[in-house]
């Protein structure tokens, strides 16, 4: 009835097979082209957190975050992605120390390090290679501020309105207010008596949850000094860089942040405010800093930004909520020698005379305490009026 089915010819089957293979081939080629296109659009350099480590080390040696630069775009040399850095530090001692710090930190991460080599008397270079990426770091001594020469005649020249906004001239007899805050108290009471004998204007910042945190806070308060909470906050490079007990971390929920700040405040009696210990990651996070400031506002406390990163938003968060705030202008003792501390104190004095006010931060360290005991009595003759840290906040 239906008849026999017709057989397909070999030519038809062969033609259809060729068409099918061609379609599959075009599809595979399209997928390969799409993958290559997407890869070409991706950033050329592999992710890395060693740049964050560099920023943390630089801040610890007194580098102004505004004087730390990294070149963009990243260069590719012989298959290695290279980024050039330049870090300006206050003096040669800090320059040499930072070069060694970078080498030690890089070696700890298993990187290949070209030891710090002098380029000139005021510059050293360190090369760090980490597989497919490298960091070429120049550490330089910052150029000192040049003082304006005195007018050669008795009659002062008429003042001319500047076309830009240059740094103010240091006029003869210029005076300013200088506040000093000493960090990292709480671990030892070995030189507490010497610290207590410093002028009462010198403040002390106490780390929470250490063996002698409360004892030192009580003693310094009894001797007339301002007590501050030196609040640990998450740095870049955690957990290799550990801020210590009671720290505020970016991954915390809002209520956890407030609870951590609340607990730390309760652990340091008589605290009038907070400044950050480490915190290069936390102070750059507006949500985190907003909740920190919420707790400070509720407790009636102030905030001083230690400025361990140029990306900090801590002051902005404080002012938005009406929390009295200020910032660190000079680090006193990244190099723990009397000569280096005196040089940094000179810079702080000059800064306060130029800008009318400055905050310097150091550490509750025997050399720092001894050097300040020797130098602070002569500050007034040099044009710096020593005041409590709380006096310079707004």
- Within a domain: residue 226? yes
N-to-C CA span, the chain: 104
> Helix, strand or coil for residue 118?
strand
Same-domain pairing of 253 and 380: yes
- Within a domain: residue 29? no
- Within a domain: residue 288? yes
Domain end marker among 98, 124, 141: 141
Lowest mean pLDDT, pick from 93-97, 211-215, 220-224, 369-373: 93-97
Q: What is the extent of the structural domain holding 111?
A: 50-141
- Within a domain: residue 239? yes
Same-domain pairing of 189 and 265: yes
**Residue 215 reports pLDDT greater than 60:** yes
Q: How confident is the model at residue 27 (pLDDT cuts 50, 70, 90)?
A: low
State both tokens at 74. Answer: 């990243």
Same-domain pairing of 128 and 192: no
- Within a domain: residue 326? yes
Are 302 and 324 contacting, i.e. CB atoms less than 8 angstroms apart? yes
Q: How confident is the model at residue 9 (pLDDT cuts 50, 70, 90)?
A: low
- Within a domain: residue 307? yes
Are 24 and 30 contacting, i.e. CB atoms less than 8 angstroms apart? no
Domain count for the chain, please give it. Answer: 2
> Helix, strand or coil for residue 344?
helix
With a pLDDT cut of 70, the percent of the chain lying above it is: 80
- Within a domain: residue 33? no
Q: Is the peptide bond before 89 cis (omega within 30 degrees of 0)?
A: no
249-253 contacts: CB < 8 A, separation 24 or more? Answer: 249/282, 250/281, 250/282, 250/285, 250/288, 252/288
Domain end marker among 125, 141, 157: 141
Spell out the residues 6+ positions from residue 103 whose beta carbon is closer than 8 angstroms to its own: 113, 115, 116, 126
- Within a domain: residue 343? yes
Same-domain pairing of 242 and 384: yes
pLDDT mean over 126-133: 86
Segment 260-295, tens digit of pLDDT:
999 999 999 999 999 999 999 999 999 999 999 999
Same-domain pairing of 93 and 239: no
Kindly report the CATH number assigned to the domain that includes residue 378: 3.20.20.370
Same-domain pairing of 108 and 231: no
> Helix, strand or coil for residue 25?
helix
Lowest mean pLDDT, pick from 156-170, 177-191, 279-293, 303-317: 156-170
State both tokens at 64. Answer: 């102004």
pLDDT mean over 178-194: 95
**Residue 182 reports pLDDT greater than 80:** yes
What pLDDT sits at residue 14? 62
DSSP bridge partners of 128: 113, 135
Same-domain pairing of 134 and 210: no
Domain end marker among 87, 119, 141: 141
Same-domain pairing of 316 and 272: yes
pLDDT mean over 14-32: 58
Q: 119: number of CA atoms within 13 Å, CB side?
A: 15
């Amino acid at each position: 009835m239906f008849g026999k089915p017709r057989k397909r010819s070999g030519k038809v089957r062969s033609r259809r097979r060729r068409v099918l293979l061609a379609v599959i081939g075009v599809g595979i080629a399209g997928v390969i082209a799409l993958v290559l296109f997407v890869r070409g659009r991706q950033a050329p350099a592999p992710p890395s957190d060693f740049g964050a480590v560099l920023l943390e080390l630089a801040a610890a040696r007194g580098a102004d975050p505004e004087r730390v630069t990294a070149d963009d775009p990243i260069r590719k040399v012989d298959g290695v992605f290279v980024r050039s850095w330049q870090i300006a530090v206050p003096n040669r001692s800090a320059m040499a120390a930072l070069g060694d710090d970078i080498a030690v930190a890089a070696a700890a991460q298993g990187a290949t390090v070209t030891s710090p080599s002098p380029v000139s008397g005021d510059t050293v270079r360190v090369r760090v290679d980490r597989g497919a990426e490298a960091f070429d770091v120049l550490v330089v001594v910052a150029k000192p501020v040049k003082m304006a020469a005195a007018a050669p005649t008795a009659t002062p020249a008429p003042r001319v309105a500047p076309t830009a906004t240059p740094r103010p001239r240091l006029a003869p007899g210029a005076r300013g207010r200088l506040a000093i805050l000493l960090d990292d108290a709480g671990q030892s009471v070995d030189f507490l008596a010497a610290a207590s004998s410093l002028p009462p204007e010198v403040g002390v910042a106490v780390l929470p949850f250490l063996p002698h945190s409360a004892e030192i806070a009580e003693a310094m308060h009894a001797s007339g000094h301002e007590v501050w909470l030196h609040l640990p906050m998450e740095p870049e490079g955690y957990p290799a860089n550990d801020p210590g007990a009671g720290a505020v971390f970016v991954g915390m929920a809002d209520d956890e942040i407030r609870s951590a700040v609340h607990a730390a405040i309760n652990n340091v009696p008589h605290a009038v405010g907070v400044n950050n210990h480490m915190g290069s990651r936390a102070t750059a996070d507006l949500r985190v800093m907003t909740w920190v400031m919420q707790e400070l506002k509720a407790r009636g406390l102030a905030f001083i930004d230690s400025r361990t990163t140029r990306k900090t938003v801590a002051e902005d968060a404080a002012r938005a909520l009406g929390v009295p705030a200020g910032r660190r202008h000079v680090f006193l003792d990244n190099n723990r020698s009397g000569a280096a501390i005196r040089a940094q104190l000179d810079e702080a004095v000059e800064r306060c005379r130029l800008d009318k006010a400055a905050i310097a931060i150091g550490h509750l360290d025997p050399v720092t305490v001894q050097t300040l005991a020797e130098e602070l009595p002569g500050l007034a003759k040099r044009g710096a009026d020593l005041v409590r840290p709380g006096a310079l906040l707004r």
